[in-house]
Each structure stands twice: as C-alpha cells, then as structure tokens.
Structure 1
Amino acid sequence: MPTPIEARITLAQWLSPAYPTGGFAWSHGLETEVAEGRVTDQASFAAWLADVLEHGLGRTDAVLLAEAHRAAPETLPALDAEARAFAPSAERRAETAEQGAAFARTTAAVWGLDLPPLTHPVALGHAAARAGLPLEEAAALYLHATAANLAGAAQRLVPLGQTDAQAALAGVGPLCARLAEEAAALTRDDLSSAAWAADIAAMRHETLQPRLFRS
C-alpha cells in the first residue's frame, strides 16, 4: 500500500494536465455559453462552473467514480454503460469515453494495471482502488482537475485573464471537497443531474460554427 504522500503524488500525476487524456480539447458546452452571450466574465463563468460541478457532470462523475472504486471487476461493464447513458449529449459521451480510454492506456503502460477502455470516472475510480489510493481524495482531485480544465477553456474563450481564472478555480475548491465527501456515501441509485442549461448548451455545441473545442 502506498503511503498517504505517495498516494497523493500518484493522484496528482493521474490528474495533471500533463497526463495524456486530452482534457484540454473539451469544454462541456462552455464554448456555446460564451458564443451565445451567457458567460461573459469572471462572475458568470464562476457561477456556471459551480452549477456544472454541483448539479451536473461534477456530482454525477464523482458518484460514478465512487461506485467504480467499490465495484467488483465483473460489475464494471454495467456501471460503465450507465455512465455513458448519463451523458447528456453525443459530444459529452465521446469526451468521457475518449478520456477514459486514454487514461486506461497510459495507466496500464506505466503502472501495469490492466484496465479496459472505460469512461473516465469509472476508469479512474477502478484504477485508484487497485492501486490502493483513497476514494475521497481521488474524487476531490478528479473534480478539481475537471474544474481546472474548464478554467483553462474559459481563458481561451471568454477570454478570461489568468488571475480571474485562478480566482474562479479557488472559489470551487471547497465545493470539490464537499462533493467528494458526499459522493463517498452515495450509490448509483443517487445519480441525478439538474444542470439543464449546461446540458442543452452541450447539445447545441454539436452544430456550433466556428469552434475551438470538441464539446
């Protein structure tokens, strides 16, 4: 078993922008929100980010990660199918599937963990369990990495200055910690999403032109 510090270092590497999952290519519909004038500055981005984390992909992915961390290997295909079904758009499904497959390939090559091409939260939760990494910390850092990717997208799209982007990211730090703690006590029966505007924006992105991001 890794020491607590070793576990944190491994999770930090898995969720680093340098880990080749391609997270920089996806905006989860933020590009649509900017193009249509709903996200225009630091305040509107911070509000959008908090809503997406608490009521949309953040909460859902944290619960899926927690379930994967606890799951027996033979139950992972069903959990992964549920994760794909919860994706609100074709691009969001591609986002979680492609990032998960990339995570599985790299983690298998570097850590010797034989991982199937699962969706990102399911792959990471299962890998964390097999590597002896703590559930709550894995969920918190996963959520923070998601928020950081979106803050990076906001810098290019709004555009948002680096300081404003970091202020928005710092603002959701406590939210990431709380959602991770809650997810550790939840099951797939608790899966839900209420980020309707963000989900619709993700759907509308499929026909948005021109665009920088894949979602």
Structure 2
Amino acid sequence: MLALVRLLQLASPALPVGAYTYSQGLEWLVESGEIKTEADVAEWIGDLLEFGVGSFEAPLLAALIGAWQRDDTIELARLNDDFLASRETAELRAETVQMGYSLVRLLSDLPGFAELAAGRERLLAIDEPAFPTAWAAAAAAWRIPGEMAVPAYLWAWLENQVMAAVKTVPLGQSAGQRLLAALGSRVPAVTERALALPEADWHNFTPGLALACSRHETQYTRLFRS
C-alpha cells in the first residue's frame, strides 16, 4: 500500500519539478492553427502517446528502473545519455535536464530516499540526470514495480499535455476530462507493449513533434517554455 501512495506522489501534478510550464510544441501547433478543436488535441496527443512516449520513453523508463534495482551504474549512464541524445531540440533537452535537476534536489530531502545513501550518491554522480532517470531512481527506491510505474508515468505526461491544451486552445474543463478519459483508456495497452518491447525496437520517430518544438523556440508570444 505504501508503494502505491509513493507512486501517486510521483505522478501527481503537485510534484514540484515544473512540468506544468512545458507544452512540448503543443503551444506552437495551436498558435499556427494546426490544432483548433478537441478532436485535434485527441489525435495529436494520442499519436505521441503511441508512437513517441510509449515507444521510447516508456520502455526506457522500465529499463532504468531495472538498472536502479540491479545497481548497474554503467547501464544507468548509458540509458541516461541515450535519452538526452533523443531530445531533438534545445527546448526538449533543457526541459528534461531542468526537471531532472529539480527532482534530484527534491529526492534528496524526501524520507525513504534520502536514507538510501548509496542510491543518492549514484544519482548525484550522473552529470546531467534526465527526468526519467531521476524518476526511475525514486520508483526503484520506493520498490514500485515497473508494471505500476510505467502507466503512472504515462498518465502524468498525458495529464500535463491535456492541461496545456485546455489552457491554449482553449478548451473547457469538461473537454479536458473527456480527453483524459478517452486517452487514458489507451494507457494499459501502451504500457503492456512498452514493457515487452526489445531495445532494438524502441523508436521515437516523430518529426512533427521536432518541427513544432523547433518553431516554438522562436515563437513571439508564449505561455510555455517548450
């Protein structure tokens, strides 16, 4: 039961890592007129869930949790570097580094993690811990199994994207809840595939996301940092 409570804490929008300040290119798509309706939002976020986050970030997160559990420092460094290299724009890379840094600082003060001195030292030894690396460290320290951690991580990402859409399109709160209900129903299947996906099949070929994030970097007026 405690593991579930810790997991809810990790997946909460109240986690002070700044996730709410990022839209991952969604703001530019709204500004450019590519996304105008609730249906447009559902299609965009759903595709990213399936073909981006669910096909690369989610299986990588599961691998990171396993590496933390095994205390495999070489594998941790490799996976962290792979994720940083996968960020295709300056904004996306800055996002994961900033959120990773914030989570590392937070974990240093939290009970149940700060007591694990060896784990804390290994996390601090990573030069630029990406957000999934730090998040996986907490999940492993709190003994949260991957089959629980991955859907929670996906849900947290999904909730943040929907809330960004609610603010920028804009959409009403009821529309936001409809989107969360519909897209959330896809999380179990995405999780099951991610947990079984061999590393050779991981992919995040989402050129639309890369273009949107690149354009956002020079967007004149904006609410979000990505």
TM-score of the superposition, structure 2-length normalised? Answer: 0.88
CA offsets, 1:20-42, max 9 Å, x none?
11000000000011011111111
Measure the CA separation in 1 of the matches of 2:30 and 2:187: 24
| Deviation sequence 1:129-157 (CA, Å, 0-9, x none) | 23211101111010110010111111110
Amino acid at match of 2:74: E
**Alpha carbons 1:100, 1:121 under 8 Å: kept:** yes
Cα distance change, pair 58–26 in 1 and its aligned pair in 2 (3 A) = farther
**Partner residue of 2:105?**
105
- Does the 8 Å CA contact 1:33/1:201 hold for their aligned counterparts? yes
- CA deviation map 1:45-66 (0-9, x unaligned): 0111101111113432101101
1:17-36 alignment, distance < 5 Å:
17-36=13-32
CA separation in 2, counterparts of 1:208 and 1:128? 36
Higher mean displacement: 25-34 or 130-139: 130-139
Which residue of 129, 135, 147 corresponds with 1:118? 129
Distance between the aligned counterparts of 1:129 and 1:188, measured in 2? 20
Please report how far the alpha carbon of residue 171 of structure 1 lies from its aligned counterpart in structure 2 after TM superposition: 0.9
1:74 corresponds to which residue? 74
Equivalent runs, 1:158-169 vs 2, <5 Å:
158-169=169-180
Residue number in structure 2 paired with 1:147? 158
Instruction: Give the C-alpha shift of residue 211 in structure 1.
Output: 0.8
Q: Does 2:36 align with 1:40?
A: yes
Structure 2 gap segments, 5+ residues each: none
Is it true that 1:63 corresponds to 2:59 in the alignment?
Answer: yes
Structure 1 consecutive aligned stretches of length 4 or more whose deviation exceeds 6 Å: none
Distance 1:23 1:150 in 2: 10
AA of the residue aligned to 2:150:
A
1:55–1:194 Cα contact (<8 Å) kept: yes
Is the 1:154–1:160 Cα contact (8 Å) retained in structure 2? yes
CA distance in 1, matches of 2:217, 2:78: 27
Task: Give the letter for the 1:133 counterpart.
Answer: I
Q: Secondary structure at 1:184's aligned position in 2?
A: helix
TM-superposed CA distance for 1:187, in Å, is 4.2
8 Å Cα contact 1:54-1:179 kept in structure 2: yes
Deviations 1:68-87 (A, max 9, x none): 01111332112111001111
Gaps of 5+ in 1: none
Note the C-alpha offset of 1:174.
Answer: 2.4
Which residue does 2:217 correspond to in 1? 206
TM-score, normalised with respect to structure 1: 0.92
Q: Is the contact between residue 66 and residue 184 of structure 1 (CA under 8 Å) also seen in structure 2? A: yes
Residue pair 2:59, 2:202 contacting (<8 A) in 1 also: yes
Q: Tell me if the contact between 2:89 and 2:214 (Cα under 8 Å) persists in the aligned partners.
A: yes
SS of equivalent residue, structure 1 residue 61: helix
**Aligned pair 1:180/2:191, yes or no?**
yes
CA distance in 1, matches of 2:199, 2:101: 22
- Rounded to whole Å, the distance in 1 between the matches of 2:98 and 2:198 is 24
Q: Name the count of aligned residue pairs.
A: 211
Per the TM alignment, residue 195 of structure 1 is displaced from its structure 2 partner at its CA by: 2.2
Partner of 2:140: 129
Computing the radius of gyration from Cα coordinates, the structure with the larger value is: 2
